[in-house]
Homo-oligomer: A and B are copies of this chain.
């Protein structure tokens, strides 16, 4: 039995399985879409990972992740651009729907977020021709504002789409409910992204109350306050019908439970609250 419309981001199963075992576990539950992280692919080898994807007819809803552009100097930025081109190559080899871009925060002890944002724009512009040539769309993932300093200085969907509009074709957004649910402009910006065909991925989880850790306390769908059905409806009306990709960082809960329980719960919640 296949579970249509559901993808598992392999960070969700990071503590349980390597790449091959994660694929096997997903397939055992009828899930045929995944999104791996670069370290997980590197551990098994890109060739072997691509072979597993192809042999099983998997959809790769995203390759995680490129980005991290802001650097203390031009050498650092150039190195980041080179690394992003390699990530594009990996995404191409895996046949991924997109390369997810977590753009990076403030370099070193900088307080200059405007300069960081300018470096992000420069970095994306430098990687984009290679991405277009490889037919790998770049998906900017706006991250929650609480990550502006240390992970990503692109923090709203509007800001990400302004960047996309400035950069042209071959680039869009990954909309993660965790990062965007609070935004008073989310519905209008989803519609805007849809008009321009810029929605490349839809990530799901939930926002817990209380949230006990800024990074590693994401909730399972249904355990928090995000209106997942409404956001999904908006995204579908905007023309995106790809899988919903479950991405849960949860050091104290889901990462400690058995992998099979995590997958089974993802499926159950996907069917009831998403």
Residues of chain A whose beta carbon lies under 8 Å from any beta carbon of chain B? 106, 109-113, 117, 144-146, 148-150, 153, 155-156, 159, 181-184, 207, 209-211, 214, 224-227
CB of A269, distance to nearest CB on chain B (Å): 14
**Chain B residues whose CB sits within 8 angstroms of the CB of A106 once the complex forms:** 209, 225
Q: Write 19 A-B pairs (CB below 8 A) sorted by A numbering.
A: A106-B225, A110-B225, A111-B225, A112-B227, A113-B182, A113-B225, A113-B227, A144-B145, A145-B145, A145-B183, A146-B146, A148-B182, A150-B210, A153-B182, A155-B182, A155-B184, A156-B184, A210-B214, A211-B214
**Chain B residues whose CB sits within 8 angstroms of the CB of A210 once the complex forms:** 150, 214
**Chain B residues whose CB sits within 8 angstroms of the CB of A110 once the complex forms:** 225
- In whole angstroms, what is the CA distance A252 to B225 when docked? 28
Assembly of this chain: how many copies? 2
Q: Is the CB of A111 within 8 A of B227?
A: yes
CB nearest neighbor in B for A179: B145
**Chain B residues whose CB sits within 8 angstroms of the CB of A117 once the complex forms:** 184
- Please classify the interface of chain A as helix (H, G, I), strand (E, B), loop, or mixed, using the class held by over half of its residues: loop
**Chain B residues whose CB sits within 8 angstroms of the CB of A226 once the complex forms:** 111
- In whole angstroms, what is the CA distance A144 to B211 when docked? 14
In the A-B complex, list the 5 residue pairs whose CB atoms are closest, starting with the nearest: A148-B182, A111-B227, A145-B182, A146-B146, A159-B184
Q: Can you add 6 more A-B contacts, CB < 8 Å, to A113-B182, A148-B181, A156-B184?
A: A144-B145, A144-B146, A145-B145, A153-B182, A155-B182, A159-B184
With A225-B106, A225-B110 given, is the CB distance from A209 to B149 under 8 Å?
yes
CB nearest neighbor in B for A111: B227
- In whole angstroms, what is the CA distance A220 to B109 when docked? 16
CB of A218, distance to nearest CB on chain B (Å): 13
Q: Is the CB of A225 within 8 A of B146?
A: no
- In whole angstroms, what is the CA distance A106 to B182 when docked? 11
- In whole angstroms, what is the CA distance A112 to B228 when docked? 11
**Chain B residues whose CB sits within 8 angstroms of the CB of A144 once the complex forms:** 145-146
- In whole angstroms, what is the CA distance A226 to B149 when docked? 9
